[in-house]
Structure 1
Amino acid sequence: MCVRNVPIFNHLTEEEMNEVFEKVESRSYEKDDHLYMAGDPKDSLFVLHRGKVRIYRLNEEGKEQLIRVLLPGDFTGELALFGGEKLHDSYAEIVQDSRVCEISKADLYGLLKEYPDIGIKIIERFSTRLNEVEQQATNIALMNSEERLIEYIRTHVDDEDFLRLKMTKKDLSSYLSMQPETLTRIFKKLEADGMIGKIDNRTYQVLDYSIL
């Protein structure tokens, strides 16, 4: 079932989950497809069941700014619930073949009235995401490139002191608002300084705990 392992729904009983599933349209997308593009109407909540999706904006020069990467259980389109702008100002691109649960705004409102806990879960996740966006904006404004990468490592390292990148380095450089060449140079500098050790292109181990 598309919604079974999704955090905003998995607290429901089997019967309640079946009712949600009746309102869900499950769709498959191929790499390079889009869930939505800037200018499309905000009229659905999209919940990623399988795959990976990147959310990004284009600035006035047409340069991409990565906002976040969706992994299974994540969702996008929730701003349709809170009014405001009626059109998307970002793009949701499929990074790898994906399965997505789509719930229309009207159906979601009905579910929220019947199961208020769903709304609470959405608000909790949205609040966390908003805090992350605000912190990221602060980091970009106040930190240099090396400080931003170190802060990213500090906040994304796992319990075993490994940084396991869930996005490409090109996307990471966009997320951290720096050129890919700058990101590569800083990674190499941190390795040379003995602060991190490279396991593979997506995995690093923290060696100097002062950065944590």
Structure 2
Amino acid sequence: MINIKEDSQHSLAFSRYSKRQAIYQSGSPSSGVYYVDSGLVGLYQVSETGKESLLRIYGPGSYFGYRSLFTNQNYPSTARAMLNSTVVHAKVNSFKELDKQSPELANYLMKEVCFELGEAEKRLMQFTAFSAKKRILDSVFHVFDLYPNYPWTYREISEYSGTDISTVIRYCKKLKELGYLIPESRKPVPVDLQQLAKYKDNLLQS
């Protein structure tokens, strides 16, 4: 939870967002740190062709929106509620102010920036080195491993894996035939996540 001193310049605001509602838009000025109290928040980017990509997923206990605070730049992506969500917004104008108000939180977020950079580099490598099938399989496992109770869709798997949705649907149909996804489900739901993990690891090593 955000621990910050409240005064006339710094405040905490609890806001509820309905599913698909934007928390902030790409290009808008950075305005502090956000914390997911409940629900699920996705970070989305739209290409010049209008294709939307799901970059990151934030569940309860996660912070987001702080990297733009560090760089003093506008938000490069759009944050949107993937479920009905409650979000805490700490209004801070700069990282220097955040460090003064809550040095423990500032130190934690600096580590999170480094972690996210490593994750971004890993995904970039996957996009260039992995086939579409490997990216899809890795994405299905990743999102269900993090948030198994969320009703993931083919479109969201497509966005997260950087793959055309028709390719995702075809490959998930194959995974259903192989017994790794539930055949009766209209969505891509693993039968057993550990079995899927073994299949994924074998495929990624091939």
The aligned residue for residue 103 of structure 2 is 116
How large is the RMSD of aligned CA atoms in angstroms? 2.9
The aligned residue for residue 127 of structure 2 is 140
The aligned residue for residue 177 of structure 2 is 192
Deviation for aligned residue 1:57: 0.9
Gaps of 5+ in 1: 4-8, 10-16
- Report the 3-state secondary structure (helix = DSSP H, G, I; strand = E; otherwise coil) of the residue aligned with 1:198: coil
The aligned residue for residue 37 of structure 1 is 25
Identity %: 21
Query: Of residues 100, 106, 120 in structure 1, which corresponds to 2:93?
Result: 106
- Report the 3-state secondary structure (helix = DSSP H, G, I; strand = E; otherwise coil) of the residue aligned with 2:67: helix
Alpha-carbon distance change, 92 to 157 in structure 1, aligned in 2, over 3 angstroms: closer
Greater Cα shift, 109-118 or 43-52: 109-118
Conserved in 1, the CA contact under 8 Å of 2:5 and 2:101?
Answer: no
Deviation for aligned residue 1:141: 1.1
Alpha-carbon distance change, 118 to 34 in structure 1, aligned in 2, over 3 angstroms: same
Alpha-carbon distance change, 102 to 156 in structure 1, aligned in 2, over 3 angstroms: closer
Give the structure-2-normalised TM-score: 0.78
The aligned residue for residue 204 of structure 2 is none
Conserved in 2, the CA contact under 8 Å of 1:20 and 1:111?
Answer: no
Alpha-carbon distance change, 62 to 94 in structure 1, aligned in 2, over 3 angstroms: same
Conserved in 2, the CA contact under 8 Å of 1:66 and 1:174?
Answer: yes
Deviation for aligned residue 1:98: 1.5
Greater Cα shift, 198-207 or 90-99: 198-207
| Cα deviation 1:59-97 (Å, max 9, x = unaligned) | 11111011112211122211233225x211211122222
Q: Which amino acid aligns with 2:41?
A: V
Alpha-carbon distance change, 144 to 29 in structure 1, aligned in 2, over 3 angstroms: same
- Report the 3-state secondary structure (helix = DSSP H, G, I; strand = E; otherwise coil) of the residue aligned with 1:32: coil
Tell whether 2:117 aligns with 1:130.
Answer: yes
Residues in 1 aligned to 2:6 and 2:131: alpha-carbon distance in whole angstroms: 46
Residues in 2 aligned to 1:112 and 1:118: alpha-carbon distance in whole angstroms: 8
Q: Which amino acid aligns with 2:189?
A: T
Conserved in 1, the CA contact under 8 Å of 2:69 and 2:94?
Answer: no
Q: Which amino acid aligns with 2:129?
A: L
The aligned residue for residue 6 of structure 1 is none
Q: Residues 23-34 of structure 1: matches in 2 within 5 Å?
A: 23-34=11-22
Deviation for aligned residue 1:153: 5.0
Q: Which amino acid aligns with 2:182?
A: K
The aligned residue for residue 160 of structure 2 is 175
Conserved in 1, the CA contact under 8 Å of 2:25 and 2:75?
Answer: yes
The aligned residue for residue 164 of structure 1 is 148
Conserved in 2, the CA contact under 8 Å of 1:165 and 1:203?
Answer: no
Query: Of residues 79, 85, 88 in structure 1, which corresponds to 2:75?
Result: 88
Conserved in 1, the CA contact under 8 Å of 2:68 and 2:75?
Answer: no
Deviation for aligned residue 1:30: 2.2
Conserved in 2, the CA contact under 8 Å of 1:163 and 1:203?
Answer: no
| Cα deviation 1:24-78 (Å, max 9, x = unaligned) | 1111222232111122101221111112222111111111011112211122211
Gaps of 5+ in 2: 202-206
Deviation for aligned residue 1:133: 1.4
Alpha-carbon distance change, 156 to 33 in structure 1, aligned in 2, over 3 angstroms: closer
